[in-house]
Amino acid sequence: MRGFLLLSLLLSTGGAAATVSQVQIGYCARLEEIGAVRAAGFDYAELRTSEIAGLSDADFERLAEDLKRNGPPVPVTYLFIPPQIKLTGPAADETQQMDYVRKALARVSRLGATTVVLGSGPARNFPEGFPRDTAFGQFAAFCKRIAPEARALGIVIAIEPQRPQESNLVNSVAEGLELVRAVDDPAIQLTVDFYHLAEVKEDPAIVVEAAPFVRHLHMANPVGRVFPLRSEEYDYAGFFDSLRRIGYRGRMSIEGRAGDFTAEAPRAIAFLRTAFDR
């Protein structure tokens, strides 16, 4: 277990070199956007797990070969569980869940992923009238079931708290921390998404409390959920202050829209790198 914890720490910071270099900046991309990610200068692409899992075997092999030859690296994937696979409520089916999880994790592991973001609001939403505590227990039990599968592949599952408009379960980092502590497995950690944090008006200082479990970050300007381009456009200070306090040197992926991707991507990358050093 001690060896895994050390490996987890190294992976969450991008390996030993990342502790003395810049935070890596990536982009949450569809498969059709891989070329644009390469051209824009992002350090990596964060691809959609469910999109990768849905490929035919032949298409997946072509994707794996293309990424191997041309990049970019894919250390992180997101959109883990598709909406039709329910994690909570009376329709939750453990066999269906695990069949999908094993296929998805095997594929993203082959692409080099060591972090899989578990947001998947529609999959984890519980139906009206269903007890929230029961849904929370189902979600925690799901995380406990998939933790050994992830651990065997050197993957950490990073739970993403989401605003109520996208999920009715785990809406804040504080609630995500409650879930991670309930699961109590080093293969289950947290993604902190600034957009969701800002939407629910959560104090960015929660990042300090959650520090031992913060595996990954998502970023956007909450006004329109667009690319973050400059400090004056929004009050980012408290968030980056908290990240500096915990010495975060992992990865941050932009999950937002661009008006002009080619022009805005390099600006966003430069802004986010300097934001950690102020």
| pLDDT at site 187 | 98
Separation CA 75–CA 43 (nearest Å): 10
Q: Render the burial of 201-226: b for 16+ CB within 10 Å, e for the rest.
A: ebebebbeebeebbbbbbbbbbeeeb
Domains in the chain, CATH or no CATH each: 2-275 (3.20.20.150)
Q: Which two tokens stand for residue 177?
A: 């921390």
- Cβ atoms < 10 Å from Cβ of 251: 25
Q: What is the pLDDT along the chain (278 residues), one digit of tens a residue?
A: 334 443 344 344 433 333 334 799 999 999 999 999 999 999 999 999 999 999 999 999 999 999 999 999 999 999 999 999 999 999 999 999 999 999 999 999 999 999 999 999 999 999 999 999 999 999 999 999 999 999 999 999 999 999 999 999 999 999 999 999 999 999 999 999 999 999 999 999 999 999 999 999 999 999 999 999 999 999 999 999 999 999 999 999 999 999 999 999 999 999 999 998 87
Whole-number Cα distances in Å, 77 to 30, 55, 110, 112: 10, 15, 12, 10
CB 158 within 8 A of CB 164: no
Write a three-state SS string for the chain: CHHHHHHHHHHHCCCHHHHHCCCEEEEEECHHHHHHHHHHCCCEEEEEHHHHHCCCHHHHHHHHHHHHHHCCCCCEEECCCCCCCCCCCCCCCHHHHHHHHHHHHHHHHHCCCCEEEECCHHHHCCCCCCCHHHHHHHHHHHHHHHHHHHHHCCCEEEECCCCCCCCCCCCCHHHHHHHHHHHCCCCEEEEEEHHHHHHCCCCCCHHHHCHHHEEEEEECECCCCECCCCHHHCCCHHHHHHHHHCCCCCEEEECCECCCHHHHHHHHHHHHHHHCCC
| pLDDT at site 270 | 96
Q: Which two tokens stand for residue 104?
A: 């998805």
| pLDDT at site 277 | 81
| pLDDT at site 13 | 40
Separation CA 254–CA 43 (nearest Å): 11
- Cβ atoms < 10 Å from Cβ of 21: 12
Amino acid of residue 196? H
